[in-house]
Amino acid sequence: MGTDTKFLQGEVSETSDAGEPGLNVEELLIGLARALLAEQRERTT
Amino acid sequence: MKARPVRLLVIQLARLGDTLQSLMALRAAQQLYPELEIHFVCRARFAGAAARVSWIKNVITLPTDELFGPILEGRKSEGALVPELARWIAPLAEQRWDYVVNWTYSDASSFLTALLPARVKLGYTRRKDGKIACADGWTHYVQAIVQGGVEQNIHLTDILTTQLLTALQIHLGESAADGNAAVTSKSFFNLELGERDSAWAGGGGTSEPNKKWIAIQLGAAQEAKSWDPSNWARLARTILKRHPEINLVLLGGREDQARASAFLASLRADPAIDPRATLSLVGETDFDLWASVVGRCQWLFSGDTAAIHLASVLGTRVLNVSTGPVRFAETGPYGNGHYVIRSSRPCKACEKHETEASQHGCRDLITPEAAYATWSYASSEWSHRRKTPLETHFRNLGWSTHARSIHVHRSRIRSTADGGGVFYEPLLSHPMTLADWNSMVMGHVARAWYCGWTPQIGQELSREAVDPGLLQSIRELDEESGVLEMLLEQAEQTALALKDKSSLLKSNKVMHVRDRQQIQELGVRMSEIEGLLDRLATTQPALRSFSQMAQVMMHNLRGDDLRDLGEETAISYKQLREGAVILRDWIRHTLKLAKPIALTTRPDAPSARVVPLLPSE
Tell whether A42 lies on the interface with B, counting CB pairs under 8 A.
no
Neighbours of B313 (CB within 10 A): 27
The parts of chain B modelled with pLDDT lower than 50 are 608-617
Task: Compute the C-alpha angle B585/B570/B497, nearest 5°.
Answer: 120
Cα–Cα distance measured from residue B461 to residue B463, given in angstroms and rounded to the nearest whole number:
7
Strand, helix or coil for residue B209: coil
Q: How many CB pairs under 8 A join A and B?
A: 134
> How far from chain centre, in Å, is Cα B17?
11
Cα–Cα distance measured from residue B183 to residue B53, given in angstroms and rounded to the nearest whole number:
13
Separation of first and last alpha carbons in chain A: 47
Query: Is the CB of residue B126 less than 8 Å from the CB of residue B114?
Result: yes
Q: Between β-strands B317-322 and B339-343, what pairing exists: parallel, antiparallel or unpaired?
A: parallel
Which candidate, B420, B215, B174, places its Cα nearest to that of B299?
B215
Cα–Cα distance measured from residue B520 to residue B103, given in angstroms and rounded to the nearest whole number:
39
Kindly report the nearest CA distance between residue B400 and chain A, in angstroms: 41
Considering CB atoms only, which of B72, B135, B137 is closest to A40? B72
Cα–Cα distance measured from residue B418 to residue B453, given in angstroms and rounded to the nearest whole number:
10
Q: Do A2 and B452 touch (CB under 8 A)?
A: yes
Kindly report the nearest CA distance between residue A1 and chain B, in angstroms: 6
Q: Which residues pair with B411 in a beta bridge?
A: B424
| Confidence label for A5 from pLDDT (cuts 50, 70 and 90) | confident
Task: Identify from B88, B115, B131, B132 which residue to disrupt to test chain A contact, counting A C-beta atoms within 10 A and taking the largest count.
Answer: B115
ipTM at complex level? 0.89
Kindly report the nearest CA distance between residue A24 and chain B, in angstroms: 8
Q: Do A5 and B97 touch (CB under 8 A)?
A: no
Cα–Cα distance measured from residue B22 to residue B53, given in angstroms and rounded to the nearest whole number:
12
Residue A17 has pLDDT above 50, yes or no: no
Separation of first and last alpha carbons in chain B: 68
Cα–Cα distance measured from residue B106 to residue B183, given in angstroms and rounded to the nearest whole number:
27
Kindly report the nearest CA distance between residue A14 and chain B, in angstroms: 7
Cα–Cα distance measured from residue A35 to residue A37, given in angstroms and rounded to the nearest whole number:
5
Q: Torsions phi, psi of B385, nearest 5?
A: 50, 25
Cα–Cα distance measured from residue B439 to residue B588, given in angstroms and rounded to the nearest whole number:
17
Which candidate, B312, B210, B292, places its Cα nearest to that of B251?
B292
Amino acid letter, residue B548: Q
Cα–Cα distance measured from residue B417 to residue B408, given in angstroms and rounded to the nearest whole number:
26
Whole-number pLDDT of residue B599: 60
Kindly report the nearest CA distance between residue B375 and chain A, in angstroms: 34
Cα–Cα distance measured from residue B248 to residue B102, given in angstroms and rounded to the nearest whole number:
38
For residue A26, give the chain B residue with the closest CA.
B82
Residues B569-609 pLDDT 10s: 999 999 999 999 999 999 999 999 987 766 655 555 555 44
Which residues have CB under 8 Å from B414's CB, separation 6+?
Answer: B420, B421, B422, B423
Q: Do B71 and A39 touch (CB under 8 A)?
A: no
Kindly report the nearest CA distance between residue A45 and chain B, in angstroms: 11
For residue A25, give the chain B residue with the closest CA.
B115
Residues B337-366 pLDDT 10s: 999 999 998 888 888 888 888 888 888 899
Task: Identify from B111, B122, B450 which residue to disrupt to test chain A contact, counting A C-beta atoms within 10 A and taking the largest count.
Answer: B111
Task: Identify from B76, B85, B136 which residue to disrupt to test chain A contact, counting A C-beta atoms within 10 A and taking the largest count.
Answer: B136
Cα–Cα distance measured from residue A8 to residue A2, given in angstroms and rounded to the nearest whole number:
10
Q: Do B115 and A36 touch (CB under 8 A)?
A: no
For CA atoms B515, B519, B521, B522, give the dihedral sign: positive
Which residues have CB under 8 Å from B348's CB, separation 6+?
Answer: B354, B359, B361
Query: Is the CB of residue B412 less than 8 Å from the CB of residue B337?
Result: yes
Burial B95-134 (b: 16+ CB within 10 A, else e): eebbbbbbbbbbbbbbbbbbbbbbbbbbbbbbbeeeebbb
Which candidate, B61, B5, B62, places its Cα nearest to that of B38?
B5
- A11 burial class (0-12, 13-18, 19+ CB within 10 angstroms)? buried
Residue A18 has pLDDT above 50, yes or no: no
Q: Do A11 and B449 touch (CB under 8 A)?
A: no
For residue B167, give the chain A residue with the closest CA.
A9
Cα–Cα distance measured from residue A12 to residue B117, given in angstroms and rounded to the nearest whole number:
10
The DSSP annotation for B342-385 comes to EESS--HHHHTT---GGG-THHHHS-HHHHHHHHHHHHTHHHHT
Residues of B in contact with A10 (CB under 8 A): 99, 120-122, 135-136, 167
Whole-number pLDDT of residue A14: 65
Query: Is the CB of residue B110 less than 8 Å from the CB of residue B124?
Result: yes
Task: Identify from B43, B78, B119, B142 which residue to disrupt to test chain A contact, counting A C-beta atoms within 10 A and taking the largest count.
Answer: B119
Considering CB atoms only, which of A6, A33, A41 is closest to B82? A33
Which residues have CB under 8 Å from B227's CB, separation 6+?
Answer: B303, B321, B323, B363, B366
Q: Do A35 and B117 touch (CB under 8 A)?
A: no
Considering CB atoms only, which of A4, A18, A40 is closest to B117? A18
Task: Compute the C-alpha angle B549/B550/B551, nearest 5°.
Answer: 90
- B600 burial class (0-12, 13-18, 19+ CB within 10 angstroms)? exposed
Amino acid letter, residue B601: T
Kindly report the nearest CA distance between residue B432 and chain A, in angstroms: 29
